[in-house]
Amino acid sequence: MMIHRRTALLGLAASWTLGRSSLAFAGSPGGPDDPRFVVIILRGALDGLSAVTPYGDADLRTHRRDLVLPEPGQEGGLLDLGGFYGLHPSLQTLHSLYGEGQMLPIHAVAGHYRSRSHFEAQDYLESGADNRLSSGWLNRAVSVLQGKANRPDGYGLAMGLTVPLLLRGSAKVGSYAPAGSQHPDEDLYNQIVALNASDPITGPAFRNGLKARGFSDATMTGMKNASETGKPRKPDAFMQLSTAAGQMLATPHGPRIAALEIGGWDTHAAQLGRLGSPLAQLDRGIGALRQSLGDSWKRTVVLALTEFGRTVRMNGTGGTDHGTGTVTFLAGGAVAGGKVGGTWPGLRPSQLFENRDLAPTTDLRAVAAGVLCDHLHMPPQAIATVFPGPKTDTQKGLIVSA
């Protein structure tokens, strides 16, 4: 471990000083042992209380009895995280990583902004500021980190059809989308079919079009989702992207930072049934990253974050509405995991934010800054560039010390 850390440091330092002319050389010392960083944006607002449930909090069930899964050990129950928190049962991979000390959920986090609009909040989340900027914090971090090291496809890499705001900006980044990923996911198609159901022209057209593409009727009417139809699972788009990202990050002179995104979190209704599928996708994606990163996994940090949390109380349709505090996940061989981070704010009405949301106790920017500084060795004075606006702390102890 010691050696790895040193080479990583050396690699970055070398590329810093040698400059552009050192193309061939800068790549080699800063090669395979570089730290890797993957950011996954969960678009649509993940309900943190369902992903990492504080089943030990006596007030939880008064707010959302019908949304709480059985306690650990019971059938279909939570996966225990040390006696107070339980992990959603769809997060099997994350749970085993937790057991290996490689997974660190941090509870009650939120960005510094307060917005309950998806679109605004996602813009702020990715800008790393309280307003919308034209570049993302990860791109600014890449500018600081890559020095002048030239990599054929850039130091950063966006996975998917477009480069998200998170990675947009002056630093050159690559992007990658596998063939066949250029259309909406099944869930969105289903919504579109429903939206057109009563139309005499477009209704049958959408239904038949999707049928011709191999979607079953049952899927389209929303009776079942694909995981229940009993067919062997095809790798979903997110898993494909994750695998590809891991492979590219593992290449000796490939990119070192990647961003992915995954939707399906906006559970306003029937949350209990609907959250399992996106969580399982996320879980498989992180599993795919681990597998495809191979030996580089031990130098990797994956950060999964979402724009805001959801209301603590269940709404009238078995779901939750837009809220504030939520959970964020760190996973990877370089993560000092096996515990739940953050400060639990409590769930008594007086403890809630605006008497409805989980009160945030950790600034999401501090978590990101902690990873950038301690894992990617970003100089602390660069934090103000990466996260402009109100000063950000740097969360310590997220990364295993070398």
Partner 1 sequence: MRLVSAINRFGWGQRESGSSDIPLREWLSRQLDAPDAAMFRTVGPCSDGLIALREQRKTKLQGDPLVKPIFQMEVTTQLDNLLVTDQPFRERLAWFWFNHFTVSLRQGGTRAVIGAYMREAIRPHVTGHFSDMLLAVMRHPAMLMYLDNASSIGPTSSAGRKSHHGLNENLARECLELHTVSPASGYTQTDVTSFAAILTGWSIDMKAEQPGFVFREKAHEPGEKTVMGQTFPEGEDGGVQALHFLGTHPATYRHIATQMVGHFISDTPSPQDINHITSVLRDSDGDLREASVALADLHDTNRSGSKFRSPMDYATAVMRALSLGGAPSQPDDPHSPAHQLYAAFASLGQPLWTAPLPNGWSDNAADWSAPADMLARTDWAWRMAAHVRAGDPMEIAHIALGPALRPQTQLAMHHAGSRQDALALLFSSPEFQRR
Task: Give me the residues that bind partner 1 (CB under 8 A), please.
Answer: 43-45, 117-119, 122-123, 132, 161-162, 165, 182-184, 188-189, 191-192, 194-196, 199, 201-210, 212-213, 263-266, 268
Cβ nearer to partner 1, comparing 215 with 344: 215
Q: How far is the CB of 51 from partner 1 (least distance, A)?
A: 15
Cβ nearer to partner 1, comparing 189 with 387: 189
Question: In Å, what is the CA distance from 205 to each residue of 180, 197, 213, 225?
Answer: 21, 10, 12, 21
Q: How far is the CB of 299 from partner 1 (least distance, A)?
A: 31
Cβ nearer to partner 1, comparing 194 with 336: 194
Crossing angle between the packed helical segments 364-374 and 137-146, to the nearest 10 degrees: 20
Q: How far is the CB of 38 from partner 1 (least distance, A)?
A: 19
Backbone phi, then psi, for 22, in 5-degree steps?
A: -90, 25
Q: How far is CA 393 from the centre of its chain?
A: 21
Give the whole-angstrom CA distance, residue 384 versus residue 279.
33
Backbone phi, then psi, for 141, in 5-degree steps?
A: -65, -40
Q: How far is the CB of 266 from partner 1 (least distance, A)?
A: 4
Asked if 38 and 301 touch (Cβ cutoff 8 Å), the reply is yes
Beta sheet of 52-53, edge-to-edge order? 52-53, 86-87, 79-80
Q: How far is the CB of 185 from partner 1 (least distance, A)?
A: 9
Cβ nearer to partner 1, comparing 114 with 211: 211
Q: How far is the CB of 306 from partner 1 (least distance, A)?
A: 10
Q: 95: which DSSP letter? A: H
Cβ nearer to partner 1, comparing 7 with 202: 202
Give the whole-angstrom CA distance, residue 160 versus residue 307.
19
Cβ nearer to partner 1, comparing 188 with 223: 188
Residue with tokens 């992180």: 286
Q: What is the dihedral of CA 19, 20, 21, 25, to 10 degrees?
A: 70
